[in-house]
Structure formats: C-alpha cells, structure tokens
C-alpha cells in the first residue's frame, strides 16, 4: 500500500513540470514591437499576424506612417502608392497599434523595448547615402539623390533643401531606379506630368522655374550591369519633349549571342537599351537625358564661389572575373560641365541605438535570416536595414514574409521561454512622462484628411504637410 502511494506521488510530481510547461506554451499573447512603418514594417506585421496570439505595436519616428511609400516612391507613380490601402487595413486591426513621432534610441532605448516585448523587429530602412570619397564632394550643389527625393516627396528635414535648378546641365552618378526617378522629375514637363500628383508644392514651384535641359546619368560599369528596371527606362523614353540618348559604341563588345543568353528581364532591358543606341532619328527635343557607361567620377570641380561647375570622369574598361564584372581605369579622361551634381550610389543603414551591430562592409545590420547577431532571442531586422537598399517593393514584401516565417519558427522553438510582456502599456506612459507627443493611427487619419482637403483645392490627390510641428498641430486642432 505504501509502495503504491509512493508510486502515485512520484508520478504526480513528475507530471507537475509538464503542467507548468503547458501553461507557458499557451500564453495568451506574444507582444511584438516593430520599429518602422514602411513596407518592411507592414509586410512583416501582416505575416506575423498569422499566429493568432501575436499583438503588434508599430513605432515610427515621423507623425505619419508608410515610410518609403510616402517619402520614396516618385510622385508620378501614384498607382504604386495604392499599397497604402492594404497597410491601412492592417493598422486598423484590433491586434495592431501604431505610435508615431517616436525616436527609438532617444525617446526610448532598445533595451527598454526588449524588456517590454517578446520580440522587436528593426524595420527602419537604410537612410545614410554612400559617398564617392573624391575631391570636391563637399562643394555647394553637390547633393545626395536621397535628399533630392526627400525634397520633392516631403521628408521634413529635406523640405528646405533648395536644389540649384538654374542650370542647364545636371550630372547624376548612378544607374539605379532612384537615379532615373531624379532624372525624370528634373526633365518632366510640370503641367503635363507633375501638376496633378502629390509632389510637394515647393518642389512644383521650383521645377516650374527650372532651366535644366540636359541630365547625364553616369555609371561606372556597362549596359549589362545597370540596376534600373525596364519600367523605369521606358518611362524615361516616353517623356514629352525629351530625347533619351544611348551611344552605339557602348554596345560594340556585346554580341547578339550574349544578349540571347541573358535571363529574360535582363534580356528585355538590354534590347531596349540597344534599340535606343540604334535610334537614328532623334526628335531633336530641347531636353535630353544621356546615359553614359564605363565612367567613374575622379574629381568634382568648383568655381570661385565654391559651387560645382564640372566633374572630371575617368573612362573604365570592364574585366570579367569569377565573382562578377570589375572595372579598371584607363588613361582616358572626360569632363562634363554641370551646375548640379547628384550622388545616387546606394544607401547604408544607421545604428539608431548603440547596441545595434552594423556590418561596415555591407552597410546593413549584422544578421542571419533576420536574426540580429549578438542577441540569443528576441531581436530581428527586416527590409533594407537587413538586406540593403536593393530591389523594388515586391522584393521587400517577399523578404519580409520570409523573415517573419523565421521569427514565427523561433517562437515555436522557444515557446517554453515565452512569458507575458507588457508591450505598449509600459512604453507609452514612459514616453508621455518624457513629454513625447505620441501620435496614434487615428491621429494620422486626421492628418490624412487634412492633406487630402488641401490637395483637392490644388487639383492634387494630397498636399503633404512637410513640417512635423504642423503635423502635430493638425492633430491637436482637430481634437479641440
């Protein structure tokens, strides 16, 4: 009898840990904090919501959401911005909250967030432009393309950029979509293509008075290595009153066999470039966009007032190696005159908190499959902060979905370690105690309505507020 009792008692005690484990495995909520409300942030959120226990708080440094969609997509690409409808539906879900006007690393530390959430996902993008590191880069009117885009798209810190447009010649270094966007905006007839978009009014006024006639798009490699897409190139070729020029000599070493062996998207793009090079009858328009290949900027030259006046280029030869096509400078040199010089050679992520590790070589947060190095569990990154500024929005979507799957898998493998966390119920009171004006998604909808009303008066889809104080004022006035 005693032995039987002891046996039952032993079984009971051996079962107790399993009961405790079961309780931990079935916690009611998994709190996730997402830093950044651009495409990466929202796509990551959408995928994480597949787990019905996940509650998401999205933190954004601006009072307005949507990141790259609002501040990066060109104003004449309004259809691309329709994805905002999907993001809005996500933000309005009961399991999602948006908190804007918050600077992570200043208003609240990453360590505080990690203590308040089961997981934190860094989706704040890549906001520092890469530099050429050549003489003259600090001259007046030498600008990052990123800031030029911010100027016409309404990023608050770029609204007073005042780019010099009283010049006939502009040089843009880079052969990516951003470079083509800048060229297209500079060469577009304002009343035909830009007037009815959401471009900022200050940019619209300046572009209407612009004297720019020629834009040179300069790349260090050849036609087979460009980063822009065929869609962007086609739009450039269809600009009213503008010729797109490609030189036939840039294709002298590219055979028909080489083109036929290319992957289909690259093949179609190269064929379009070749057709432009073979174009005999230019329309002799008063504006021109010239694509230049195998050129590297060596020196930016200024005038006596410290303003850019020209750029010295070195002519490259291409060398095929196992890890890709490399460039080698020849003795040949060229000079292009210009009154505005835009640098569009890529972006780097920044560390918004001292504890975030950056890969100096790649310019992204050090990570494997989105898991940030140096953290056993709980800190992840997605979007350009994780992968670099590459591709188009659909690429960001796919990458974000994939990283979200890794996070959900980690939740499953670490369920015994998951405990209930306070999330925003601890963070928001802390922010308010510091005097931070927290903007909710309902507040954003008030700003959204005001911008649309202002735009309708000008025949535009919206007129963006470009000052953060004005955004906050709009929220407060509506509440009153």
Please answer whether residues 418 and 30 qualify as being in contact, where contact means their C-beta atoms are separated by less than 8 angstroms.
yes
**How far is 238 from 73, CA to CA, in rounded Å?**
19
Quick one: pLDDT at residue 2?
A: 40
457: three-class secondary structure by DSSP: helix
Q: pLDDT per residue over 217-258, tens digit each?
A: 999 999 999 999 999 999 999 999 999 999 999 999 999 999
pLDDT at position 392: 80
Instruction: Tell me the pLDDT tens digit for each residue of 163-206.
Output: 999 999 999 999 999 999 999 999 999 999 999 999 999 999 99
Structure tokens at 30: 């998994």
CA triplet 345, 341, 390: central angle to 5 degrees?
Answer: 20
Q: How far apart are CA 352 and CA 168, in angstroms?
A: 39
Contact 446, 107 (CB under 8 A): no
320: Cβ contacts below 8 Å, ≥ 6 apart:
326
| Res. 4 pLDDT band, cuts 50 70 90 | very low
Q: What does the domain layout of the chain look like in residue ranges?
A: 2-127+348-439, 131-345
The mean per-residue pLDDT over the stretch 292-315 comes to: 98
pLDDT at 356: 95
Residue 323: the pLDDT is 82
- The arrangement of secondary structure in 131-345, i.e. its CATH architecture, is 3-Layer(bba) Sandwich (3.50)
31 φψ region: left (φ > 0), alpha (ψ -120 to 50), beta (else):
beta
Q: 229 vs 255, 271, 299, 310, 384, CA distance in Å?
A: 21, 13, 29, 28, 18
The count of other CB atoms within 10 Å of the CB of residue 454 is: 15
Give me the sign of the Cα torsion angle 440, 441, 447, 450: negative
- CA pair distance 461, 459, nearest whole angstrom: 7
Helix (H) and strand (E) counts in the chain: 16, 20
Phi, psi of 29 (to 5 degrees): -135, 145
At the top level of CATH, the class of 2-127+348-439 is alpha beta
User: What's the chain's Rg over C-alpha atoms?
Assistant: 26
- Decide: 145 and 180 in contact? Cβ < 8 Å: no
What is the C-alpha separation between 309 and 307, in angstroms, rounded?
6
- Evaluate if residue 480 carries a pLDDT over 90: no
Contacts 24+ apart (CB under 8 A), 425-431: 426/116, 427/33, 427/57, 427/99, 427/108, 427/112, 427/113, 427/116, 428/99, 430/108, 430/112, 431/99, 431/102, 431/107, 431/108
The pLDDT assigned to 477 comes to 77
């Amino acid at each position: 009898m005693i032995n039987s009792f002891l046996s039952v008692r032993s079984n009971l005690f051996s079962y107790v840990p399993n009961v405790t484990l079961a309780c931990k495995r079935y916690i009611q909520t998994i709190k996730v904090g997402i830093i950044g409300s651009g495409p990466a942030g929202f796509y990551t959120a959408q995928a994480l919501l597949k787990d019905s226990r996940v509650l998401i708080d999205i933190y954004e440094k601006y009072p307005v959401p949507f990141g790259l969609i609002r501040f990066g997509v060109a104003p004449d690409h309004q259809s691309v911005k329709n994805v905002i409808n999907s993001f809005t539906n996500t933000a309005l879900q009961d399991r999602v909250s948006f908190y804007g006007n918050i600077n992570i690393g200043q208003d609240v530390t990453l360590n505080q967030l990690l203590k308040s959430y089961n997981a934190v996902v860094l989706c704040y993008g890549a906001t520092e432009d890469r530099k050429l590191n050549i003489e003259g880069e600090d001259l007046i009117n030498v600008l990052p393309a990123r800031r030029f885009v911010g100027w016409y798209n309404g990023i608050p810190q770029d609204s007073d950029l005042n780019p010099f447009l009283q010049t006939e010649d502009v040089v843009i270094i880079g052969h990516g979509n951003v470079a083509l966007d800048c060229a297209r905006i500079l060469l577009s007839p304002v009343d035909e293509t830009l007037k009815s978009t959401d471009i900022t009014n200050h940019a619209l006024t300046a572009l209407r008075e612009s004297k720019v006639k020629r834009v040179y798009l300069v790349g260090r490699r050849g036609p087979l290595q460009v980063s822009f897409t065929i869609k962007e190139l086609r739009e450039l070729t269809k600009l009213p009153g503008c010729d797109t020029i490609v030189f036939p000599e840039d294709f002298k070493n590219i055979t028909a066999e080489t083109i036929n062996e290319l992957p289909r998207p690259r093949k179609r793009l190269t064929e379009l470039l070749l057709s432009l090079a073979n174009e005999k009858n230019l329309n002799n328009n008063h504006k021109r966009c010239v694509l230049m290949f195998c050129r590297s900027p060596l020196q930016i030259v200024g005038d006596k007032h410290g303003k850019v006046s020209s750029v010295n280029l070195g002519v490259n030869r291409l060398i095929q190696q196992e890890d890709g096509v490399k460039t080698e400078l020849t003795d040949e040199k060229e000079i292009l005159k210009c009154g505005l010089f835009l640098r569009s050679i890529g972006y780097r992520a920044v560390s918004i908190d001292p504890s975030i590790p950056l890969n100096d070589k790649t310019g992204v947060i050090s990570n494997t499959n989105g898991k940030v190095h140096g953290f056993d569990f709980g800190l992840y990154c997605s979007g350009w902060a994780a992968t670099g500024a590459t591709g188009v929005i659909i690429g960001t979507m796919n990458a974000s979905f994939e990283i979200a799957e890794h996070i959900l898998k980690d939740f499953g493998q670490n369920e015994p370690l998951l405990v209930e966390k306070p999330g925003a119920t601890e963070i928001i009171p802390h922010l308010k105690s510091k005097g931070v004006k927290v903007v909710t998604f309902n507040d954003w909808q008030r700003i959204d309505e005001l911008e649309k009303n202002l735009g309708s008066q000008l025949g535009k889809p919206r007129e963006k507020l470009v000052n953060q104080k004005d955004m906050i004022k709009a929220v407060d006035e509506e509440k009153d």
